[in-house]
Structure 1
């Protein structure tokens, strides 16, 4: 049985790599193709792979996004994002809030949801997907001028605390009789501050360890950085901060300095980020049952594009 699982996984990865040529040739978003491939491989498609485990999909998504964000931060030069720091933070906080409000109001009016339910829907879809943004911006056909590219990268890497704050706050609003607005605001500030501080600190720790340990084998350095990335996310999440923001900031700090085997580590994390993007969107595709979408496709099409 395990042999068939390995064959299926290998074929899905192989097809994902091959269909990326379609994206290069025709300009179709690569991640959309990965998602469609996952749907075709699922139980409603010719692949017939049954997968209906949202908890497992979430776990895969978290692991993937941690590595994607770290790689994105590692490739982001501080001198490029420093001039757009204020604008990026405004977009990742106030921009997400406005987007959630507009989308939530439209969902309330168009989809027959209560206002609170509509706002919860808006909060869930309000933040840009970092994996998709980094993938698009790093594709060969994208050449954005001026401050736009670093602004988009910074916003997509730092908008998770606001989205989490809005989503958890509105869930509390729906499930608790007297939710505390002060607690929700405190949660957001806590997520931002702890995530940023630990991310900056762990970036320095990574730099120190990579340059000072003097490992005997070059192949151990990727293992070292992987362990530190997951440690950064885990410790930050346990302490109540945004682990996603922390790993993104750690990547920016580390990428700002020179360190041992920098070129090979950048290539390793870039390749790993692609693997994680494929794995995440294939998993999301497998999780989709197209037959279950038919009853709600009208409401989905009438919702405003974000």
Structure 2
């Protein structure tokens, strides 16, 4: 019992230290997960002297924590974000991981003297981006970028783990048994298809089960988050037992359940947020305890070289080739390439060579650990500056909103929403609450007042309203803080605007002709943009039309384009080098070159 209390005391102190350090990390903008990892290192064998070498236990604990993080990531991903980013994200999560592993193997053979198979094993370990790091930096970091880019990064980080895990397990087995590339056969391909297929199937069924159970056992809100957690882990473990990818299944289940109406959903969201924080803290602390920094100097320079090779060569090339067929600008592809943060997943996978009996297993672990530290330090600290440099930061449609959503019991068609009145919000500037919203109560200076007796709302008031869930986003505009960027900012939204209902032929006559495809001849400008943006246009989306750029200025409540801006100067390339450009841009450049060539040759023939 004395040993138990000591272990519990040390563990609690470490978790508290990580939690308190997060306050400093928020203040100074440090990558929070790097802070957690550093605390584990400081408490380990070369720091405070805590010796921890239980690799199997760490792998199981890390897998459990990762399952919780992935479920919460899926649960908080809107289905429309998944739809607009599904295809490019899946390409990055599959083809991108394989390409990263293969390209990285070249650097590993040069700097560490690995064989190609060993290099690919190390490459597969560090090939996946970390979901916890990406979600934290993009969502909590407040980086407001184009929704398609954000969704692509988030969905990629949530779906590339199964591919990396499969590759790592398969390659570790081949290296440990000495089979080499001759061991790669149809069996591994069928095994991959089985794992991914079962992961998707059981994930969808598991998501349906979670929604069904929660909506039929509505007796106690306090038990709802426990039900969801237990059912999510049931999906994870059952899928793994049946030979599928439990990580993919739990992520898919999260996406399905998170986009359905569920009993006590707001309590579940808050519980998941807290549990995810705890899972990340414990996972990074334990992985930090497992490392032995005194062994790092021997491989420090090669490992840093490999980290830089991964960041500046392997990841960018893999991302570019994966996104080549899709309509991403040069800046956007460059940003996706930069946001390839490595984290707990890579360190967790680095345990596999040791557990599989691979020769020099600790070398894989130590090298991976250094690569993760470099990635979190270099990329984690520069996400916002890089986004600003590439011109990807867009102004928010509305300012910050301070609100709490509360579910009503049973199958009520309304929700209770609480807003705090913010300075310079439209409601303070005279805008009225819409008729379809039903305000009931105002909390002012600690006293509750019925809305009809509260008079004019004041800053700091807490207003409670009953509203249909589909209208909550419209109500947000009324209580939002002031947007700092003007709506007609020419650098972001173009020099002037046009109506989306105008015929697209007018654009073709002004900036063409010959730019419209046969299927686009009878479209309006709004329909043309939707068509070229894959059927779904979002705020600040842009597409090239000859020598100009069309930009979505505003959307209505039904997500239809309300206003379109025209930028007279095309988006400047991120670099003069011919990299990170998509197939459509390549076609445009070839066509522009041909036009210029024809323009020069025609007068010459006339003079002759």
- TM-score (structure 2 length as normaliser): 0.49
Equivalences for residues 199-218 of structure 1 within 5 A: 199-215=203-219, 217-218=220-221
- 1:50 corresponding residue in structure 2: 51
Q: Alignment partner of 2:142: what SS?
A: coil
2:31 paired residue among 26, 29, 32: 29
In structure 2, the partner of 1:9 is: 11
SS in 2 for 1:159: helix
Q: Distance in 1 between matches of 2:57 and 2:169?
A: 20
Q: Is the 8 A contact 2:203 2:251 kept in 1?
A: yes
Q: Aligned equivalents of 1:75 and 1:59: distance in 2?
A: 25
Which structure features the higher share of strand residues? Answer: 2
**Structure 2: which 5+ residue stretches go unaligned?**
312-608
CA contact 1:165–1:184 (8 Å) conserved in 2: no
How far apart, CA to CA, are the structure 2 residues paired with 1:48 and 1:180? 43
Summarize deviations over 1:105-139 as a string: whole Å, max 9, x none.
11112211111111111111111122222222232
Q: Which has the larger radius of gyration?
A: 2
TM-score, scaled to structure 1:
0.95
Give the CA deviation at 1:159.
1.0
Alignment gaps of 5+ in structure 1:
none
* C-alpha displacement of 1:245: 0.6
How many angstroms does 1:22 deviate by?
2.1
Counterpart in the other structure of 2:549: none
Deviation at 1:24, TM superposition (A): 1.2
Q: Over residues 52-73 of structure 1, what are the superposed CA-to-partner deviations in whole Å (9 max), with x where a residue is unaligned?
A: 1111111110110010000111
How far 1:140 sits from its partner (Å)? 3.4
Number of equivalences: 304
- Would the aligned equivalents of 2:210 and 2:257 in 1 still touch at CA under 8 Å? yes
Aligned to 2:113, the other structure's residue is in SS state coil
2:276 to 267, 273, 276: 273
Deviation at 1:176, TM superposition (A): 5.2
Deviation at 1:48, TM superposition (A): 2.1
**1:198 aligned to 2:202?**
yes
User: Aligned to 1:225, which of 228, 249, 272?
Assistant: 228
SS at match of 1:138: helix
Moved over 4 A (4+): none
Structure 1 equivalent of residue 496 of structure 2: none
The CA deviation at 1:223 is: 1.6
Q: What is the root-mean-square deviation in Å for CA atoms of aligned residues?
A: 1.4
Contact 2:72/2:273 (CA < 8 Å) preserved in 1? yes
Q: Which protein has the bigger helix share? A: 1
1:136 aligns with 2:137: yes
Q: Does 1:116 align with 2:121?
A: no
Contact 2:221 2:267 in 1 (8 A): no
Q: Helix, strand or coil for the counterpart of 1:147?
A: helix
| SS of residue matched to 2:49 | coil
Q: 1:87 and 2:88 equivalent?
A: yes
1:243 maps onto 2:212 in alignment? no
| Distance of 1:42 and 1:168 partners within structure 2 | 27
Which structure's relative contact order is higher, taking Cα pairs within 8 Å and 6+ residues apart? 1
